[in-house]
Structure 1
Amino acid sequence: MKITILGAGVIGVSSAYYLAKAGHEVTVIDRQSGPALETSFANAGEISPGYASPWAAPGIPQKALKWLFMKHAPLIIRPMMDKATLAWIAAMLRNCTSARYAVNKGRMVRLAEYSRDCLIALRDETGIEYDHRTQGTLQVFRTKKQLDGIGKDIEVLRADGVPFEVLDPDGCVAAEPGLGRVREKIVGGLRLPNDETGDCFIFTNELAKRAEALGVRFHYGVDIHAIRAQCDRIDAIETSIGDIEADVFIGALGSYTPALVKPLGLKVPVYPVKGYSITVPILDESRAPVSTVMDETFKIAITRLGDRIRVGGMAEIAGFNNDLPERRRSTLVHSVEDLFGGAGDQSRATFWSGLRPMTPDGTPIIGRTRHKNFYLNTGHGTLGWTMACGSGRVLADLVSGNRPEIESADLALSRY
């Protein structure tokens, strides 16, 4: 079939690769000058299936009130009274129950674990390099209350057969020697040894090259004006280079998907939750992390990427806003310097922000819409890098008429 993918981030490119492997004629269009130049550009770098959890969780409303008064808050809500923001927040709050959290986390872990397996197979098959490491993730707890609160997460990990280790401070230092200088600040940790790290931007660009070798055509610098539909099918995409026709169309535009499909009568509950990162050159290897460390207090991920440290996190509800306030940078610097002081050269750090496409239940939207030849692969939130390969593979199977290797019915837009 002739397939057109809208979006060349890690989700769009992964979808293109697997669809081309399945024998389809694939075209990808994107408004940027190359792959992965928006949300996929400088994310936290962690591939953490076991930490695949929805932000909507029991106790979050109470924590959110506390976070509003923290100097280095993991959640920031700017004064926004527009209908879309209020509706998304209300939907997220409805998912902050124990029952919904268990369902949402279970399906997120299912997809993320599958995606990790797909990434390993892809790496073995192609030899793709992207500053990757396979040394696990360590979630660090600074308070006993945090450590005592991991019971429900462990239940899900155990039910899904995800290996994990609950560590005391000495165990945390053994896993991440750079924490030895701040051992007294740590009460314990949760380590997932099967997690990985890697540079999503490098990966996406390298995968795009391999997709091109399979016949995928990429058109960059193309603005998408509208989707033209008739009855229950999409006829064409109206773009700055003319109308593009295909047998199947796939929306993988992240946070920009809802506005594009709204004229079709499709309500896609994806909101642009803003995240920040800094990328810091390493000065002292002995002080640097060896993999990913999750600072639970500030919800910050500190990841080793080759000779750099990527520090990413925070969730800011501010609409389509990509400014770079210095106070957000100070939160990232505080977290990495407090745990790995002196490891990186902050004077040469680069500061970035991206709009994560977040659903209110945390689970991405993958599958066919009510338009028979229009599919979605969007809404991955903070886990686009973690879920990319699995999402692309599931989508390719669905489009090809094959049964995906994991349950996927509950990933579709119809769940809303």
Structure 2
Amino acid sequence: MKVIILGSGVVGVTSAWYLAEAGHEVVVVDRQPGPALETSFGNAGEISPGYASPWAAPGIPMKALKWLFMEHAPLILRPQVDMAMLRWLVAMLRNCTASRYAVNKSRMVRIAEFSRDRLIDLRQATGIQYDERSRGTLQLFRDPRQLEGIDKDVEVLRADGVPFEILSRDECILAEPGLAYSKESIAGGLRLPNDETGDCYKFTNALAEMAAAKGVSFRYGVDIQGLVTAGGAVAGVSTSAGTLEGDAYLVALGSYSPGLVRPLGLRLPVYPVKGYSITAPIVAAERAPVSTLLDESFKVAITRLGDRIRVGGMAEISGFNNSLPPARRATLEHSVGTLFPEAGDLAGATYWSGLRPMTPDSTPIIGRTRYSNLFLNTGHGTLGWTMACGSGHVIADIISERDPAIDTSDLSLDRYDSH
């Protein structure tokens, strides 16, 4: 079967790999000149299945109000006349209940744990290199009240069998020795020893090369203009290079997925939530992180990627906007500079932003649509890198009409029909 994949980010490329493994003819189409040049390019670098948590949680509305007035705010809201933004915010607020949080987190962890295992298998089978480290992730709490509020997360981790450690200040420093140079208050931490780190951009490019060697065709620099339908199915993709035809079509366009399928009467509750990162060369290795640290106060991830430090985070709800305000960079520098002082050359850091495709329940949309040969693999939010291999494996099984290895009954677009 010929499968046309729209999008060459980490989700599109992993989907291509697993579909090729299943024996399909695969064509990947993207407007960019190469893979992973948008949201997959400069993400935080963490592969943290156990920290796969919904943004919509009990207490978040009140916290969000407080964050809006912080100097180094983890949330930035820029209201505008945008019905898609309003619908998404209302739907997210509906998910801020204890019962929905538990359901959403459980299925996110299900995908993420499966994905981490598939990534390990892929690494062992191919020897793929991407500045990978398997040193765990430490969620750091500066405030004792943050540490006291982890019960609901620990309960889900325990229920899903995810190994974890609750650490004191001194134990946090043992896990991340660079913290010994920090003068900040450290109340403790929650550590997941099985988590990994790696450069998503390097991974996606290396996997694209291996996929091409398997026969996958990559059509870069091609604008995707629309889907052509006939008789309840997709008949082709209208592009700047003409109409491309296949047997099945997979939309993996991140934040741009809703616009493509809207003319078909499909409403995807996916909205772009902007994130930022800086990447600094390490100048004092003993002061640098050894893996990933999550700064809970500012919702910032600090990750070791080879000889670099990647600092990423924040959530800005402002539509399709890729500006780089100095204030956002200042927040990232403040987080890493106070916890790992003088570890990296912050003045020489590169600065980047990307549009994360968020769903209101933080779970990606993976599966079939009401069009018989149109499939979705999108809406991964901040966890595209964490969930990519699992999502690609699952959608390859669905398209190949095989039973996926995990439950996918609550992952498709159909789950929103009852809301």
Structure 1 length-normalised TM: 0.99
1:182 shift after superposition: 2.5
1:213 shift after superposition: 1.0
| 2:184–2:338 contact (8 Å) kept in structure 1 | no
Deviations 1:125-177 (A, max 9, x none): 00000001000000000111100000000000000000000000011000000
Q: Structure 1 residues 183-192 or 394-403, which shifts more?
A: 183-192
| 2:141–2:189 contact (8 Å) kept in structure 1 | yes
1:363 is the counterpart of 2:378 = no
3-state SS in 1 of match to 2:410 = helix
Residue 83 of structure 2 corresponds to 83
Distance, in Å, in 2 between the alignment partners of 1:174 and 1:110 is 30
Q: Structure 1 residues 60-69 or 183-192, which shifts more?
A: 183-192
| 2:184–2:339 contact (8 Å) kept in structure 1 | no
| 1:170–1:183 contact (8 Å) kept in structure 2 | no
1:230 shift after superposition: 1.4
Residue 162 of structure 1 corresponds to 162
1:257 is the counterpart of 2:257 = yes
Residue 95 of structure 1 corresponds to 95
3-state SS in 2 of match to 1:411 = coil
Q: What are the within-5 Å matches in structure 2 for residues 338-357 of structure 1?
A: 338-357=338-357
Residue 407 of structure 2 corresponds to 407
Distance, in Å, in 2 between the alignment partners of 1:79 and 1:93 is 16
Residue 125 of structure 1 corresponds to 125
| Structure 1 residue runs of 4 or more that deviate by more than 6 Å after TM superposition | none
3-state SS in 2 of match to 1:250 = strand
1:327 is the counterpart of 2:327 = yes
Distance, in Å, in 2 between the alignment partners of 1:81 and 1:160 is 41
Opposite residue 300 of structure 2, the aligned amino acid is: I
Distance, in Å, in 2 between the alignment partners of 1:50 and 1:312 is 18
1:104 is the counterpart of 2:104 = yes
1:237 is the counterpart of 2:234 = no
1:62 is the counterpart of 2:51 = no
Distance, in Å, in 1 between the alignment partners of 2:174 and 2:336 is 18
Distance, in Å, in 2 between the alignment partners of 1:80 and 1:407 is 38
3-state SS in 2 of match to 1:185 = coil
**5+ residue gaps in structure 2?**
none
1:192 is the counterpart of 2:192 = yes
3-state SS in 1 of match to 2:182 = helix
Q: What are the within-5 Å matches in structure 2 for residues 204-223 of structure 1?
A: 204-223=204-223
Opposite residue 351 of structure 1, the aligned amino acid is: Y
Residue 284 of structure 1 corresponds to 284
Distance, in Å, in 1 between the alignment partners of 2:299 and 2:380 is 17
Structure 2 length-normalised TM: 0.99
| 1:169–1:183 contact (8 Å) kept in structure 2 | no
1:316 shift after superposition: 0.3
1:148 is the counterpart of 2:151 = no
Distance, in Å, in 2 between the alignment partners of 1:259 and 1:96 is 26
Residue 135 of structure 2 corresponds to 135
Distance, in Å, in 1 between the alignment partners of 2:269 and 2:79 is 20
Opposite residue 317 of structure 1, the aligned amino acid is: I
| 1:173–1:183 contact (8 Å) kept in structure 2 | no
Distance, in Å, in 1 between the alignment partners of 2:381 and 2:112 is 13
1:184 shift after superposition: 5.5
1:79 shift after superposition: 2.3
Residue 376 of structure 2 corresponds to 376
1:183 shift after superposition: 6.4
Opposite residue 313 of structure 2, the aligned amino acid is: G
3-state SS in 2 of match to 1:410 = coil
Deviations 1:224-276 (A, max 9, x none): 11100113100000000000000000000000000000000000000000000
3-state SS in 1 of match to 2:310 = strand
3-state SS in 2 of match to 1:367 = strand
3-state SS in 1 of match to 2:138 = strand
| 2:303–2:309 contact (8 Å) kept in structure 1 | yes
**5+ residue gaps in structure 1?**
none
Query: RMSD of the TM alignment (CA)?
Result: 0.6
Opposite residue 371 of structure 2, the aligned amino acid is: H
Opposite residue 223 of structure 2, the aligned amino acid is: D
